[in-house]
Structure formats: C-alpha cells, structure tokens
Amino acid sequence: MNQFFIVQQRLRCENINLINYVETDLFQKDFKKLSKKFRTLNDDFIVAKRTAIELLHVQNIDNQSIVTITGYESDAVKIYKLRKFACKALKGKGVMSGVRLIYGYDARINTITFIEIYYKADQENEDRHRIKQFLNETYSG
C-alpha cells in the first residue's frame, strides 16, 4: 500500500507542469557554447529542472543545491544559483561538476527565466552585470 502511494504521488508531480521556463538570448548563447563542450548538457539540464528547480519551487523541498543570490531580489523576482548540477560528460564529478546555472524566479506568474550558465573552470562567478541588466529590462517601472 505504501508503494502505491509513492507511485501515485510521483505521477501526480510529473503530470503537473506548473512552472513556465523562459531563456534569455544570452543564456541560449552560453548553453549552445557549453553543449559543444559537454555533449550531455541538454539531458543534464532537463534532469536539473526536475531534481532541483521544480523540487524547490513546486514541492517546497530544499535539497541544498540552490542558493539565493542576495542583493538582487525584488518584489517580483528572486535570483538563484543552481550550484549542484550533475553533468554526465564530466565523469567522476557528480553534482560537483562545476557547472553553474543562474535564474530568476517570479512567483507571481510562476516563471523561471534562465539568465546564465557557465563552467567554473572558464568563469569564476556569475556575471552580476548581466543579472542587473536582466532585472532592469524585465522588471523595471
């Protein structure tokens, strides 16, 4: 009986697509560049949406893979960094692959906007100017 409940719960979660996903042009450019370097990135990205982003924002389960980037939140949106991104192309690294994903979450309209994706060996930290630009263009006055 317990097993039935778990299966039923899983189906319910998989059939509900509550979050809208949007990608900025710069994110798409970053993603295309990285996907040439890491061939599994597209599949890994889908898994990250399910196992980290939807877990946090749909089911309110914090698995410690996402942190808030402070100093950029507003009434409309909060900016997050997905730090634990498992990339199969980086064998032996697991979730500590070094791939980082920056996104904004607008809870009012339940929308995730992907702002940046980068590999820590190529870039130390997120592009804070890009985050400011995103907020100014999307959520100003």
Is 51 inside any structural domain? yes
Would you say the C-alpha torsion 78, 103, 119, 88 has a positive or negative sign? positive
What total number of domains does the chain contain?
A: 1
Dist. CA 30–CA 119, nearest whole Å? 10
pLDDT mean by block of 10 residues, the chain; 141 residues? 43 58 94 90 88 89 90 86 78 62 93 92 88 87 51
Domain that holds residue 135: 23-139
Does the residue 10 lie in any domain? no
Classify residue 1: in a domain, yes or no: no
Residue 130 lies in a domain: yes
Which pLDDT value is given to residue 84? 80
pLDDT of residue 15: 41
The CB-based long-range contact list for 101-104 (8 Å cut-off, 24+ gap) reads 101/45, 101/48, 102/69, 102/126, 102/127, 102/131, 103/53, 103/79, 104/77, 104/78, 104/79, 104/80, 104/134, 104/135, 104/138
Q: What is the pLDDT of residue 7?
A: 43
Alpha helices in 38-127 (DSSP H): 41-48, 54-57
